[in-house]
Structure 1
């Protein structure tokens, strides 16, 4: 299968479905990651840092077995301005990859870039436009999904759990390439925090470690 992972920022693809990406790669699937935005630091763009971020993304995803990377290079912290700015280049990526399955960040996240990415992705993935696409799964991002205020319109209530018991160490190794984005425990975006979340999701499914998703759409043919 062709698997497309849409990530708002470099590191979201590992923090969220990193173990699942490894699972697909070992199954022989072709996994493509589309990064929507280049990060800013202290609300400023730094071209040297962007180049380093992209190099880190390449190293992290190589560990996971990703086949192909696309960097849209849109401005961080401003994705919620005009959905067309995301939609037009994202549609080009969809048409090139022609995915069977799609993974996208949760639409109820605290981060405004995540919410904008989700909105644009769901438009690009509408059935009339993507006739081959049969499954859409929504992933969580530690320190964003879990920080959404209570009572929101889109709570993260997972109903799909993927066993990553054999892949959690590879996921953590991949995250080490994003050392600038990692934080000390008890921050959710720490090595111990990532392992704790995997264990928590695993307990919900009676397995040692899991990643959790919301099934948004499935077409059975």
Structure 2
């Protein structure tokens, strides 16, 4: 059994980026947990203090429902301000990550791509690679970056492009991802938006075609330690 930790910026990223792969881990007997750093949705209001508390409560309920479908053992939240991670000292976010890495001691970590358009995604990546740096025997031996549709594909400058080099056949598990995303009533969009069910299926099918399977999720390898 391996311990898996997904570290995501916002509620639904833990499904969009790696939902089917996590379900595959669960089916293989691995223990999977997620840490969501941000609270979600409050940046959609002109003034953060004007957000509707019932909508934030609903988002939390959606997160719990989605996590159960995928099979996460626990989904933790740090409730950082949405799309305002750059208002925090990076060290403060690193310390949050370090605490969960130290307590969970994951073998594998999945997180955001460093070139994503979304500022919270970028900072999450920086916090993860720093907070999970290999300075002790109890370290994550593998770290992967996932694709987050409606952010990753919108970085049009070459040096920020997502270049996957690790492919996971999720043909048997893609339906879990779609069902989990259905729970996110405030995040799921209609086609042709990137976060529509049609596009999620299309994206998985596109990556699957590259490795001759029906559906795949893809990642960039950050680190693999073979001892």
Q: TM-score range by the shorter chain?
A: over 0.9
Distance change (3 Å), C-alpha of 1:130 and 1:146: farther
Structure 2 equivalent of residue 33 of structure 1: 34
* Matches for 1:1-221 after TM superposition, within 5 Å: 1-39=2-40, 40=42, 41-43=44-46, 44=48, 45-81=51-87, 82-129=89-136, 131-151=138-158, 153-221=159-227
> Number of aligned pairs?
220
Instruction: Normalising by structure 1, report the TM-score.
Output: 0.96
Provide structure 1 residue ranges, at least 5 long, that are not aligned to the other structure: none
Give the aligned CA root-mean-square deviation in angstroms: 1.2
State the secondary structure of the residue aligned to 2:109: strand
Q: For the residues of structure 2 that align with 1:90 and 1:130, how far apart are their CA atoms?
A: 17
Where do 5+ consecutive residues of structure 2 fail to align?
A: none
Quote the offset at 1:50 in angstroms.
Answer: 2.2
User: Once the 2 structures are TM-superposed, how far is the Cα of residue 57 of structure 1 from its aligned partner?
Assistant: 0.6
Query: 8 Å contact 1:19–1:170 — kept in the other structure?
Result: yes
The answer to whether the Cα contact below 8 Å between 2:108 and 2:140 also exists between their aligned partners in 1 is yes
How high is the TM-score relative to the length of structure 2?
0.93
Quick check: which one's helix share is greater? 2
